[in-house]
Amino acid sequence: MNRSILLIYTGGTIGMKQDTETLALKPFNFNQITEEVPELKKFGYKIDTISFDPVIDSSDVVPSFWVRLVELINENYKKYDGFVVLHGTDTMSYTASVLSFMLEDLEKPVVLTGSQLPIGMLRTDGKENLISSIEIAAAADSNGRPMVPEVCVYFKTMLFRGNRTTKYNAENFRAFRSANYPILADVGIHIKYNPSVISYPNEWGKELKINTALDTNVAILKIFPGIQPYVLDAVLGVKGLRAVILETFGSGNAPTSDWFIERIKKAVNDGLIVMNVTQCHAGKVNMDAYATGIALKKEGVVGGFDITTESALAKLFYLLGKYSDIDDVKRELVSNLRGEISI
C-alpha cells in the first residue's frame, strides 16, 4: 500500500544546516528533503512538504500560529494518511497539547518532532527523529487503519501522547518525558506499539472538526515559599482575566494563611476560574489529602488531577473559547476530553 504523508516544517533546530563557507546555521529548502535525508526514498511513501514562510522560532508561537497549523491540516486531511509537524522543541509540548483539543474527532496521526542538533550536523538527532516519525505516521493495521490516530510527540526512540509531554532536558537528546502516562510506542530494531494506551475512535468515519476559537485570557501563578500578597493581587487583578493556573506544591498544596485563602476565595466569587496543578513532574493533585488542599477545594478551586501545565493551559484556551458560562468550563475541566488526565 502506497501511504501518503504531509510533512509540515514550521521552524526549529531540525530544519537548519551549516553554510559551507560561513559555517553559520541557516534553514534549508524542505522541498529538497530527500537530498538532505536520502533514506526517506527507501520507504516508497508519497511524501509532500509544506514549509511555513517565514519559519518561526518556537519561542514566538502564538495562537494564530496554531490556527494556521490546524487549518492547514484540515485543508489536506483527506489527501494524506498522516501528518508530521517539524517544530522547535521549546514549545512543542504546548503545541501538541493545544492541537489535541483543536483537532476534534481526529482519526489520523499528527506526529510532532524536532531535534536538539540541526539535521545538517554530523551528530544530529534530527534524521532518526524525522525518519521514525514518518514511519509511525504512515503505519497502519491489517484493516488499513492508522496505528496511532492521535496527536503525538516523537523524540529519541519514544512516542508520547502529545498532551502528556513536557520538555524535560535542554541539552540531552532524550529531551521529553511523559511522567504520568505510558509511551505509545517504543522504537528500537522494531517499533513496538502499545495499543492498550493509544486512543482509538469509538466510531470510525467521522468528519474532522477544527476548533479555532481560543481564549487566552489565562495566567499561570507558581506558588513559592515567601510569596507576598501583592503578587497574588497583581495576577488575580489582571483586567479581563478569566482563569488562573495555580502551580502548587506536592499533591496540590498551598499556603493556608488567611490573606492567601481570602484572595483565592474573592477571585473565585468574582467569577475567576482557579485551576490547581502540581509543580511536580510526576503525580497528581489530590485536594482531599491535606488541610491545605482541602482549604482550596472549599473555596471553589478546580483540581487538575495529573494534567501537565502545558495541557492545562491548552485545555483552558479551548474551553474558554467554546463556552461563556464558567460552570460549563469547570464541568469540562474535570472531564477527560482527549486523554489529557487520568480519572
Distance CA 173, CA 239 (A): 41
Task: Give the residue, 244 or 35, on which the prediction is more confident.
Answer: 244
- Give the pLDDT mean for 212-223: 98
Residues 305 and 277 sit within 8 Å (Cβ to Cβ): no
Q: Which residue carries 487549518 as its cell?
A: 71
Return the H-helix or E-strand segment holding 155: strand 151-155
Rounding to the nearest 10 degrees, give the CA dihedral for residues 134, 138, 140, 143: 180
pLDDT in tens, 115-127: 998 887 788 888 8
- Give the pLDDT mean for 313-322: 98
Return the H-helix or E-strand segment holding 222: strand 218-222
Q: Does residue 225 surpass a pLDDT of 80?
A: yes
Q: Where are the alpha helices (DSSP H) in 49-109?
A: 63-75, 92-102
DSSP 249: B
pLDDT in tens, 57-85: 999 999 999 999 999 999 999 999 999 99
Predicted confidence at residue 333, as pLDDT, reads: 97
Predicted confidence at residue 250, as pLDDT, reads: 95
Q: Distances from the Cα of 60 to the Cαs of 15, 57, 260, 283, 315, in angstroms?
A: 16, 6, 34, 30, 20
Catalytic residue among 10, 13, 89, 166: 13
Predicted confidence at residue 30, as pLDDT, reads: 72
Q: Give the three-state DSSP class for 162.
A: helix
- Give the pLDDT mean for 126-155: 96
Predicted confidence at residue 14, as pLDDT, reads: 85
Domains of the chain: 4-210 (3.40.50.1170), 218-333 (3.40.50.40)
What is the rounded average pLDDT for all residues in the chain? 94
Listed residue (299, 300, 298, 340) closest to 319, CA to CA: 340
Q: How confident is the model at residue 1 (pLDDT cuts 50, 70, 90)?
A: low
- Give the pLDDT mean for 232-254: 97
- Name the pairing type of β-strands 158-161 and 185-187: antiparallel
Q: Where are the alpha helices (DSSP H) in the chain?
A: 33-36, 63-75, 92-102, 126-138, 229-236, 258-269, 291-298, 309-322, 326-333
- 13 belongs to the catalytic site: yes
pLDDT in tens, 11-44: 988 887 777 777 677 777 777 677 778 888 889 9
